[in-house]
Structure 1
Amino acid sequence: MASSSTLNAPAAFDDDKTLDIKPDERDGNSDSNSNSDVEKGQVAQAQDELDWDNAPENPYNFPGWKKALTIFALATMGLTVSIATSISSSSVNLLMEEFGVSRTVALLPLTLYVVALGLGPIIGGPLSETIGRYPVIMGGLTIGALWTLGAGFVHNFGALCFFRFLSGFFWAPILANAPGSISETFMPKTRGPVSAIFILTPFLGPGLGPVIGSFVSVDKGWRWTEWTMLFFSVFSIGLGLMIGETFHPVLKRRLAKKKGIEMPPLPPMNERIKTFAVVAAIRPVKMLFTEPIVTFICLYVAVDFGTLFSFFGGVPYTFGTVYHFTTDQSGLVFISIVIGCFLGLATIMACEIFLYRKQIPNYPPHKVPPEHRLYPAMLGSFGLPLGLFWFAWTARKDISWASPAAAIIPFAWGNFLARYGFAGVFPLFTIQMYTTLGIDWASSLLGFIALALIPIPWVLFKFGPKIRAKSRFETHKYE
C-alpha cells in the first residue's frame, strides 16, 4: 500500500507534522525530539531572528501565481504517474503476441508498476524529511523517466517487467510527497479545496490510461505507450524546474545561512540513519498492526484500489466477450471512471462547504476533530457495492452496453471518495475469476466485499476519538 493513501482526499493534507510517540511511552533514550533545554533555547532564538512567519522564503507567503504554479506542476506529475498504472492494460494482447507469454504473465508489467508504487514511498517519504521534498520529487521523476525510456527499447519480457518496476519505484515518492508540499504551501483554511483538486489527478490517471493506451497501441504498437509516458514525464520535469523547495526545515536553514544566523547542528549521521530506518521501516509496520485506525483504513483502501485495478482486466474482457467491443472501444468505456472522479470531486467540495466548515465554529482554531473529514468516505461507501452489483447483473447481451458502462460511474465515485501493493496483484487473477465465476458472480463477489466494508468509515466516525485516545502516537495538531 502506498504510504500516501488515505480514506478521503482532504484528510491527507490536514497535518504537516509527523506522528510523535507519546512522551511517556517512548522506546529508547536516543529520540530525536529529546533535545536539551539549551538546544531548545537556541532553536527558539534562531526562529525569532529568522522572522519566519513574515519571510518571503516561507511557502505560506508565496505570491498567488507561484502557489498556483506549484499545485499545477504537482498535479501534472501526479497525473503522469497515475496514467502509467493503466496505460499498458490495452497492450496485453500485443505483449502476448510479441513475447509469447500467457495473458496472466502479460499483465506483469502493469502489476509490478503498481506494486512499486506501494514500495517507493517507504524510502522516498522519510528521505524527503531529511534532504527536502524537491530533490526527491525531481530526482525520482527524472530517474523514473530514464527507466521508462529503457522499457520502450527492450526486446526481453523480463527486462520490460524490471524497467516498469523501477519506473514505478522512483515515481512513487511523487504521490507520497506532493501532499506534504501542498500542506507546506497552503494554510489550513485554503488547504481542503486545493487538496481535493490535486487528489483528483491520481484518480483520473487510471481512467485516462486505458483510453490513451488503447488508441496508441492499436495504431502504433505497445512501445508507444512507453513513449507517451516519456512525453508526459518530460513535460512534468519542465514544470518542476519552475518550482522549488517547500520543506520548511530546509528553507529555514537556507534562510539562516543567508542571514548569517547560527543554527543548532544537525544530529550525528548515525542517529540520522537510525531515525531514517525507524521512520521508513519499523514505525509503519508497527502502526499497521497496533493502530486500529491505520489497520482498517489500509484494508479499506487496499480493497477499493484492488477492485479498481481488477477493472483493467475485467472491463475489456466483459465488453469484448459480451458486446464484441474492439480494443479502442473497450478503452473508451473507462471514460466512466473519469466522470465518476469529477463527481467525487464535486461531492468532496460540497462536504467541505456544507458539512465540514459548519463544524469550525464549534471547536478551537485548527482543532476540528479529523473524524469530520470522513463525510465523503461515508457517502462513497455505498457507491462501491452499488456500482459493482449494477455492473454484475446488467452486463448481458439482452441489455445495452450503456448500462454496465454507466454502472462504473458510481463505483468510481465511491472509490474516489474512499482511496497500491494489494491493488497490483488484482489484475493477475481477474480474467480467471471472470472466466470461472462468470461476469455476474465475479463482479458480485467484489460487490459483497465492498458491502462488508461499508461500516468502516461510519465506525471510525463514531468511535474515532476513543480509538485515538488509546493510541501510542499523538496527533495533537489537526485541522
Structure 2
Amino acid sequence: MADINPREAYDGSSLTDIEKGDALREKDDIPSNSPTPAGSIADPTSKEIGLNDKNQETESQPQVNISDWNGPNDPDNPQNWPTWIKVYHATVPGLFGFAVTFGSSVYTPATADIEHQFGVSRTAAIVGLTVYVMGLAAGPIFSAPLSEAYGRKVVYITSSPIFMLFTLGAGFSQSFASLMVCRFFAGLTGSPALAVGAGTSADLFVPRQRAVVTSMFLAAPFAGPSLGPVVGGFAAQYKGWRWTQWCMEFVTLAVFIMSLFTKETFKPVVLKQRAKKLGLKLPPGEAAVSAKAMKSSLVKNFFQPLHMLFIEPIVFLLSLYTAFAFAVLFVFFAAFPYVFQRPPYNFTISQYGLTFLGIGFGVLLGALTGVLIDRVIYQKQHQKAVARGEQHAAPEHRLYNMMFGSIGIPVGLFWFAWAAQTGCHWIVLVIAAVPFAWGNICLFTSAALYMVDVYGPRNAGSAIAANGILRYTLGATFPLFTVQMYQRLDTGWATSLLGFLALLMLPIPYVFFKWGPAIRKRSRYPVVM
C-alpha cells in the first residue's frame, strides 16, 4: 500500500486546529537561549506578572483532543506503541483465528465414530463440519457492527466464552440434532474473533507495513484447518469423538486468557475512553451516534457485500477464485480419509490425520512467500512510485503473489490425483499437498491486499466480507458431495476435475494485472486510481 504524509499516517487524520495553533506558537516563540526583551510578557520584571503566570500555566497544560489524536506522536495511538506490544496485540487475533478454524477440521476424523454412535450416514456425519462453517460465514454480519460501536476487545472477550459454551454443549450432546445445533452456534459465536482480527491489524500498523502483517495473520486461519485433523485423529482414535471438542476448548481457553491482557485498539473507542478517563465531556448525542452507527453498519455489512459481489467484477472473480481454492481444502477433509484409509495404504485415523502436515508446511511456505514478495518486489515498486511523486504503487503490484500461487494449485491437484490413482508411496501424496496449500494462501493473501488497495478503507471491508461469504459457503457445501464424487469418478479423475477447474481460473490474476486500471475505472464504487 501507499506511503502517506507523516501527518496523515495515523488513520488519515490531518492537523487539528489545536496542532495548528501549537505550530504557530512554536514559530513565533523566542529561542530559550536568547535574551528576553524587557517588558515582554515573559519578562520577570513585567508588571502583569500574575497574568503572565496564568497564561504560562494554561499553555503548559497538555491539550487533549477528543475527536482525533494529539499529533503524530500521540502515545495513545496504537501505531505508536512499542513494537513488542503491537506484535502481542496482533498475535492474539491470529491465534483466535487459528483456534476457530482448528475447530472446523478437528471434528472430521471423528465422523466414523459419530456415524456409529448416532446411527447416521457418512454424509450426515460430515454435516457437523458444514453447519460449523456456515456459522463462520454468518458471524461477521453481526460482529463487525459490534466492533465499530464498542471496540475490538469487547468482541474478543465476550464472543470467546460463548463459543466455548457451545463447544462444551457439542461435546456433551446426547443426540445428533443437539450436536448439529451446538456446532452451528459454535461457528457463529467463534467467527467474530476471526472477523475482527483484520481490523485490529489495521489499527496497529500503517498501510505500508500491512503486507507482512497480513501474510502472518492469514497463515493462522489456514494453519488451523491443517493441524486440526492431526490432533483430531489422535483424539478420536484413542479417546473418542468427544475429545475433539475438548481439544477445541483447551486451545481457545489459552488464547482467551492471552486476550485479557490486551488493550483497545479501535481509534474512536480509544478516544472516547480517554475523554471519559480525563473527565471531558463528549459531544452531545455521542451515545446515540454509536447506536445509530451500529445500526447503519449492520445494514451495510449485510447488503453491501452482496451488492459488491454481484456488480463488481474484481470482487466477484477474486472471491470466486479464492472461494474455490478454499473449498478444495475442505474437500480434502473428506477425500484424505477416503484415499488413505483404503488399500493400498490402510491408515488408521491418527495416521491419516498426520498426512495433513503437508498442507501445514505449504501454508508456512505461503506465508513466507508473501513476506518475500513484499520485500523484494512490491516495496521496490512502491519506492519508484514515490520517486515519481505518486502516493502509492498501482494496486496491480499486489498480484505477484497470486500469479505465482495460481500455478501451485493445479500442480498440487494433478500430482495428488495420479499419485493416488497409481498407488504411489504415501509420502508422494503428502508432498503433493504442499504446492496446493502454498498456492492457496498465496492466492488469498494477494486477493485481500489487492481489494484493500483498490477500494480503500471505506469499502474494502465490504469487499473482504463478500469474499468471506462466498468462501465459507463453498467450503461448507463441497465436502457434502466429495465422497460420492470420489466413488463415481475414482480418485484420479475426481481430483483432476478440481485441477481442471483450477486451470480454468488460473488467468484471473493475469487479467487484472494487465487490464486492472481499465476495470477499476468502470467500478460503481470509489476506487484508488
Q: What TM bracket, shorter-length normalisation?
A: 0.7 to 0.9
Matches within 5 A, 1:63-78: 63-78=82-97
Contact kept? 1:115, 1:422, Cα under 8 Å:
no
Letter in 2 for 1:422: L
Q: Distance in 2 between matches of 1:68 and 1:214?
A: 32
Is 1:193 matched up with 2:212? yes
How far the C-alpha of 1:114 sits from its partner, in A, is 1.0
Q: Distance in 2 between matches of 1:83 and 1:376?
A: 25
TM-score norm. by structure 1 comes to 0.87
How has the CA–CA distance of structure 1 residues 380 and 249 changed in structure 2, closer, same or farther, with 3 Å as cutoff?
Answer: same
SS of the residue 1:418 aligns to: helix
Is 1:362 matched up with 2:384? yes
How far the C-alpha of 1:333 sits from its partner, in A, is 0.6
Matches within 5 A, 1:48-447: 50-264=69-283, 265-266=285-286, 268=289, 271-272=292-293, 274-322=295-343, 323-364=345-386, 367-396=392-421, 398-419=423-444, 420-447=472-499
Letter in 2 for 1:183: A
How far the C-alpha of 1:476 sits from its partner, in A, is 4.2
Contact kept? 1:207, 1:338, Cα under 8 Å:
yes
Gaps of 5+ in 2: 1-8, 21-63, 445-471
Letter in 1 for 2:189: F
How has the CA–CA distance of structure 1 residues 435 and 275 changed in structure 2, closer, same or farther, with 3 Å as cutoff?
Answer: same
How has the CA–CA distance of structure 1 residues 472 and 257 changed in structure 2, closer, same or farther, with 3 Å as cutoff?
Answer: farther
Contact kept? 2:149, 2:290, Cα under 8 Å:
no
Q: How many residues align?
A: 442
Q: Distance in 1 between matches of 2:367 and 2:68?
A: 42
Q: Distance in 2 between matches of 1:67 and 1:272?
A: 27
Task: Determine which structure has more spread, i.e. the larger CA radius of gyration.
Answer: 2
Residue 508 (structure 2) aligned to one of 450, 456, 477: 456
How has the CA–CA distance of structure 1 residues 96 and 464 changed in structure 2, closer, same or farther, with 3 Å as cutoff?
Answer: same
SS of the residue 1:242 aligns to: coil
How far the C-alpha of 1:240 sits from its partner, in A, is 0.3
Letter in 1 for 2:381: Q
Cα offsets for 1:402-456 (capped at 9, x unmatched):
2222111111111111131211111111001000110011001111111111011
Structure with bigger RCO (C-alpha 8 Å, 6+ apart)? 1
How far the C-alpha of 1:53 sits from its partner, in A, is 2.8
How far the C-alpha of 1:195 sits from its partner, in A, is 2.4
Contact kept? 1:117, 1:421, Cα under 8 Å:
no
How far the C-alpha of 1:394 sits from its partner, in A, is 1.1
Cα offsets for 1:218-238 (capped at 9, x unmatched):
010000000010001110110
Gaps of 5+ in 1: 1-14, 19-39
How far the C-alpha of 1:192 sits from its partner, in A, is 2.1
How far the C-alpha of 1:125 sits from its partner, in A, is 1.6
Cα offsets for 1:250-291 (capped at 9, x unmatched):
111222333444443435577435513431212111111111
Q: Distance in 1 between matches of 2:421 and 2:495?
A: 13
SS of the residue 1:184 aligns to: helix
Q: Distance in 2 between matches of 1:275 and 1:43?
A: 32
Cα offsets for 1:58-107 (capped at 9, x unmatched):
10111223112212222221111111110011001000000000000000
Q: Distance in 2 between matches of 1:85 and 1:48?
A: 41
SS of the residue 1:199 aligns to: helix
Letter in 1 for 2:83: G
Letter in 1 for 2:523: S
Identity %: 40
Contact kept? 1:132, 1:245, Cα under 8 Å:
yes
